[in-house]
Amino acid sequence: MSSGQMVTIVTGGITRSLCTPYVILCYSDELSFRLTLSQVLDLLDADDPGPAICNIAVVPKTEKDAIESDCDSDASDMDFTGDSAHLPSRILNSTAELFRSDHFEEVEPALTKAESISAHLIKRNNKSRHFRKSKKTAKSHLPDYIVYEPTAAQCLKATNANPLDVFLAMYPPSLRELPIEMSNLYSAQNKDKPLNLSMEELLVFDGVLLSSGYCTVPRRHLLWSLDDDVHNNSISNAMRRNKFDEIMASIHVVDNTKCNDDPFFKVRPIFQELNSSYKILPISKWLSVDESMIPYYGRHGYKQFIKGKPIRYGYKVWSLASSGGYLYHMEPYAGVHTLLQKTGLGQGPSVVLGLAEKAGVPGGCNFMHDNLFTTLSLIDEMTKRGYGCIGTLGQNQLFDVPFKPINEFQKLPWVSTEFLSEGEKLLVRWRDNSVVTVASNVENVYSEAPVKRWNKEGKAYDYLQQPQIIRSYKQQMGGVDLHDLQVSRYHSTIRSKKWWWPIYAWTLHSAVVNSWLFHRVVMNGDYDLLGFQRVVAQSLLKKFGIAPKGHGRPSSMLAAVTDIPRCFMNHNICKYGRTSFGCEKCARPMHIECFKKFHNLNHKP
C-alpha cells in the first residue's frame, strides 16, 4: 500500500486520519472477527448498528503490534487529514479486523447549540484590557426592561385569592400528587400495612409542619397530648397521631428502585416543580445571586461547611432571588454533578450564567453578586446577553488592573475613591471601614450620592459622599439572604432521620415565604409572615382535616341517674335511704316496701 493512501480513525466520536488499511473495533464482549473497511463504514452509517461501539481505531498493519508496546512511531495520528466518505477502492476492499472487549469509555451526550457555545467561552486576561482613568464608559447597549401583560400574577389577582389559594398555587398540584403516589408505593414495598395516603391527608400533614414552626414543643407527640400546657386542639382534631407517624415513616417523592447518579435524586422533583411554579410572579428588574444554606448536621457526601455564614453546616443551594427576597430559581450544589452548564469562565460566572439561562431571565434585568461570582469576563458576557451586572471584585481578580496598591490606598483618608473605565465597564474602589472594589456595566458615568453615617464622637449623623454604583449595590444586593432569613424565622421543628428531610421542610417554608411576598405585592395583603403562615396552616387543618370519632360504639343502656332522692317516708320508719321508685300520683319518692305504709298512714278512717 502506498504512503499516500488515507483511512479514518474514529475515537469517541472524534474523526482523525491515518495512512493504513488495518482496522480495530472494540465492543463490550470478548469477540473477534474480520471485516473489510467498507463493511465497517457501512456498519457505522447504519441506522441500527447493533452493539454500542465504544472505541474505533484505524492503524497501519505494520504498526498493529506497536499499539501495545513501547515502540516509537514516526508519524503522529494528528499529522494527517482525510475524509472517510472519499476513500479509494483498495482501502475499502482491504481486510479489517474487529475485536470486542469488556473495556469501554462512556461517551458524553452531544451538547446543544446553546450549551456548546457557552462551554467554549474564553476568560480574557487583564493584561489585554485597556483601562482608562475616566469617569465615563463606552455607551451601553443594554435593552430596556419590559414586562409583557397580562401576567399569571394578574390572572390570580382577578380571582381574589386568599392566602391558602396563593400557597396552593405556589405549591402546585403536580408537586403534591407525586408524594402521594411515591409514598404509597414505598409503603407497599417496605411496610406490611398499606399507607393509602390521600391528598387531604398530605395537606393536613403539611399544615402540621407549618404549625410546628410557631407552636414549638420538645417532642412532636406532645402536640396530641391531652395536658393543658401542651395540647394543640387544631392539630389533634385534624389528624390522628398514629396517622402522622405513618406518613412520616413513608413519605417519599421518588421511586427508590429507579435511582440514578444524581446525588439529590430523592428531592430533584421538588426543585424542578418549585422552580416552575415560582415563575408565576414576573421576574424583577433587580436580581440577586448568592448561595443559600439548608441546615443539616448529619452525614452526607455533599454537606458543606462555610466559615462565617449564619448556617455553617448544611446543603448549599445556588439561588436567584429578587432584591425583596422572592426566590425565582434554585439549584443544589453537587460538585461536578451540579445541573448548571460549565462555561469555561470559572465556577462563579458559570453559576450566574446558568441560573440566568435556566430561569429564563429576560434582557434588561440587572444582577447583583459578590466577589465569589464576579469577574470582568463575566461582565463582558453578561453585556453580550443583554444583562446588567454589579458585583464586588476580590483582590485576586485585580491583577494587572492599574489601581493604586492596596496598602497605599488603605492609608488614604476615609471615603476616598478611585475609578477606572474599560469598554462598557466602570470600576470603582472606595475606602469605607474596609476597602471595597465594585465593577458594573449598568452605570455609564461615575457619580456620587449623599449617605448618612453616625458619628460616635459628635453623637450626630454626618452626610458623606458615596459612589452611586456602591449605593446601588447595597440597596439591591441581599435578596437571597433575606429569603433565607424569612425561611428560618418560623421553620418547622419536626425532625426525621432521612438525610433529605431538611430539604423537604426547607422547600415547604420557601413556598410559604414566596406566597407571603406574592400576597403582599400582588394582592396588597397586610399580613406579616407569622400571621400569613398561621392563616395557611390553620386553613389546611380545618379545611382538609378529619375530626376524631368517638371511642367505641354507643351503649344501648339508659344513662344512670346521678341524683337519686331519699325516700319520702319518715326515716324512723324507712331504713333503706335513697330510692329510684316513687308514687306517680303523689309525686313522692319512696321504696316499694314503704308505698303501702305511706298510703295507709295518710288514709286512716
Q: Give one DSSP letter per residue of 288-307, joined into a string.
A: EEEEEEEE--S--TT-EE-T
Distance between CA atoms of 393 and 400, rounded to whole angstroms?
13
Among 5-9, 154-158, 289-293, the range scoring the smallest mean pLDDT is 5-9
Can you give the length of the chain in residues?
Answer: 605
All three cell numbers of 498: 432521612
Question: What's residue 384's pLDDT?
Answer: 94
- Ordered DSSP codes for 153-202: HHHHHHTT--HHHHHHHHS-HHHHHHHHHHHHHHHHHH-SS-----HHHH
Closest CA to 37 of 84, 82, 98, 95: 95
On the CB side of 441, CA atoms within 13 Å amount to 29
> Residue 358 is which amino acid?
K
Closest CA to 513 of 541, 485, 539: 485
Closest CA to 294 of 275, 328, 271, 265: 271
Question: What's residue 41's pLDDT?
Answer: 61
Q: Is the pLDDT of residue 362 over 80?
A: yes
Distance between CA atoms of 21 and 94, rounded to whole angstroms?
6
Name the percent of the chain in helix, strand, coil, to the closest 5. Answer: 35, 20, 45
Distance between CA atoms of 567 and 595, rounded to whole angstroms?
10
Question: What's residue 539's pLDDT?
Answer: 97
Among 83-97, 131-145, 378-392, 400-414, the range scoring the smallest mean pLDDT is 83-97
Beta strands per DSSP E along 417-543: 417-422, 425-431, 435-440, 448-455, 460-467
Q: How many CB atoms lie within 10 A of CB 465?
A: 13
- Residue partners of 342: CB distance under 8 A and separation at least 6: 119, 350
Question: What's residue 307's pLDDT?
Answer: 86
Closest CA to 401 of 381, 419, 379: 419
What pLDDT, in 10s, does the model give residues 411-441?
998 889 999 999 999 999 999 888 999 999 9
Please give the average per-residue pLDDT across 137-166, as a whole number.
Answer: 90
Closest CA to 420 of 473, 368, 376: 376
The residues pairing with 390 across neighbouring beta strands, listed in sequence order, are 368, 440
Question: What's residue 40's pLDDT?
Answer: 63
> Sorting pLDDT into bands at 50, 70 and 90, what band is 59?
very low
Question: What's residue 5's pLDDT?
Answer: 38
Q: Is the pLDDT of residue 324 over 90?
A: yes
Helix (H), strand (E) at residue 7: strand 7-11
Distance between CA atoms of 77 and 16, rounded to whole angstroms?
7
Q: Is the pLDDT of residue 346 over 70?
A: yes
The CA-atom distances, in angstroms, between 407 and each of 34, 412, 420, 514 are 73, 9, 18, 44
All three cell numbers of 450: 449623599
Question: What's residue 50's pLDDT?
Answer: 47
What pLDDT, in 10s, does the model give residues 89-137?
656 566 555 444 343 344 444 444 444 445 568 888 888 999 999 889 8
C-beta separation of 235 from 211 below 8 A: yes
Distance between CA atoms of 272 and 269, rounded to whole angstroms?
5
C-beta separation of 495 from 485 below 8 A: no
Among 54-68, 116-130, 253-267, the range scoring the smallest mean pLDDT is 54-68
All three cell numbers of 308: 462565617
Question: What's residue 286's pLDDT?
Answer: 97
Among 61-75, 228-242, 261-275, 496-510, the range scoring the smallest mean pLDDT is 61-75
> Sorting pLDDT into bands at 50, 70 and 90, what band is 6?
very low
Between 376 and 558, where is the model more confident? 376
Question: What's residue 385's pLDDT?
Answer: 95
Distance between CA atoms of 70 and 91, rounded to whole angstroms?
27
Closest CA to 353 of 326, 325, 373, 333: 373
All three cell numbers of 480: 437571597
Between 35 and 495, where is the model more confident? 495
Beta strands per DSSP E along 250-379: 286-295, 304-305, 313-322, 327-332, 366-369
**Percent above pLDDT 70 for the chain:** 75
Note the Cα 145 to chain centre separation in Å.
26
The CA-atom distances, in angstroms, between 96 and each of 1, 4, 57, 84, 207 are 14, 19, 11, 15, 69
Q: Is the pLDDT of residue 9 over 80?
A: no
All three cell numbers of 185: 408505593
C-beta separation of 62 from 136 below 8 A: no
Closest CA to 432 of 418, 416, 455, 450: 416
Closest CA to 469 of 435, 434, 442: 442
Question: What's residue 559's pLDDT?
Answer: 55
Question: What's residue 454's pLDDT?
Answer: 84
All three cell numbers of 546: 378529619
Distance between CA atoms of 424 and 443, rounded to whole angstroms?
9
C-beta separation of 513 from 479 below 8 A: no
> Residue 522 is which amino acid?
V
Between 605 and 441, where is the model more confident? 441
Distance between CA atoms of 182 and 525, rounded to whole angstroms?
36
C-beta separation of 34 from 89 below 8 A: no
Between 364 and 87, where is the model more confident? 364
Between 60 and 217, where is the model more confident? 217
- Residue partners of 113: CB distance under 8 A and separation at least 6: none
Distance between CA atoms of 44 and 35, rounded to whole angstroms?
13
C-beta separation of 99 from 24 below 8 A: yes
What pLDDT, in 10s, does the model give residues 544-578?
999 887 666 666 665 555 566 777 666 556 666 77
pTM of the prediction? 0.73
Residue 124, Cβ density class (10 Å: 0-12 exposed, 13-18 middle, ≥19 buried): middle
Angle between helices 173-190 and 199-211 (to 10 degrees): 100
Question: What's residue 129's pLDDT?
Answer: 92
Closest CA to 580 of 593, 572, 589, 569: 589
Whether cis (ω within 30° of 0) applies to the bond prior to 310 is no
All three cell numbers of 216: 414549638
All three cell numbers of 533: 403562615
> Residue 58 is which amino acid?
V
Question: What's residue 55's pLDDT?
Answer: 44
> Sorting pLDDT into bands at 50, 70 and 90, what band is 252?
very high
Angle between helices 529-544 and 163-170 (to 10 degrees): 90
